[in-house]
Amino acid sequence: MECTAAGPGSGGGEAGSLAEVLRGRPPMARELPSFDTGRAPDRPGPLFEEWLLGAVRAGVPDAQVVTLSTVDADGRPDARVLVLRDVDAERGAWWFAADADSPKGRQLAATPWAALTVYWPALGRQVRLRGRVETGGAEQAAADFRLRSPAARIAVLVGRQSERLDGDAELADAWREAEAVLDRDPQTVAPSHTLYAVVADEVEFWQGDPGRRHVRLAYTRNPDATWRRGLLWP
Ligand SMILES: Cc1cc2nc3c(=O)[nH]c(=O)nc-3n(C[C@H](O)[C@H](O)[C@H](O)COP(=O)(O)O)c2cc1C
Cβ 64 under 6 angstroms from ligand 1: no
* Cβ partners under 8 Å of residue 218, min gap 6: 202, 203, 204, 205, 229, 230, 231, 232
Q: What is the pLDDT of residues 41-66, one digit of tens each?
A: 999 999 999 999 999 999 999 999 99
Which residue's CA is the closest to the ligand 1 atom numbered 4?
82
Looking from the CA of residue 162, the nearest atom of ligand 1 is 25
Low-confidence ranges of the chain (pLDDT < 50): 1-5, 12-13
Cβ 109 under 6 angstroms from ligand 1: no
The whole-number pLDDT of residue 186 equals 94
Which residue, among 117, 126, 115, has the nearest Cα to 66 in the 3D structure?
A: 117
Evaluate whether 227 touches 221 at the Cβ level (below 8 Å).
Answer: yes
Evaluate whether 204 touches 218 at the Cβ level (below 8 Å).
Answer: yes
Residue 103 CA to ligand 1 center (angstroms) comes to 11
Looking from the CA of residue 85, the nearest atom of ligand 1 is 8
What CATH number has the domain spanning 30-144+191-232?
A: 2.30.110.10
So where are the chain's domains? 30-144+191-232
The whole-number pLDDT of residue 16 equals 78
The whole-number pLDDT of residue 183 equals 96
Residue 3 CA to ligand 1 center (angstroms) comes to 35
Cβ 80 under 6 angstroms from ligand 1: yes
Which residue's CA is the closest to the ligand 1 atom numbered 7?
82
Cβ 155 under 6 angstroms from ligand 1: no
**Residue 199 exposed, middle or buried by CB count within 10 Å (0-12, 13-18, 19+):** middle
Which residue's CA is the closest to the ligand 1 atom numbered 2?
82
Predicted TM-score (pTM) of the model is 0.94
- Calculate the alpha carbon distances from 157 to 102, 106, 116, 189 in Å: 12, 17, 26, 8
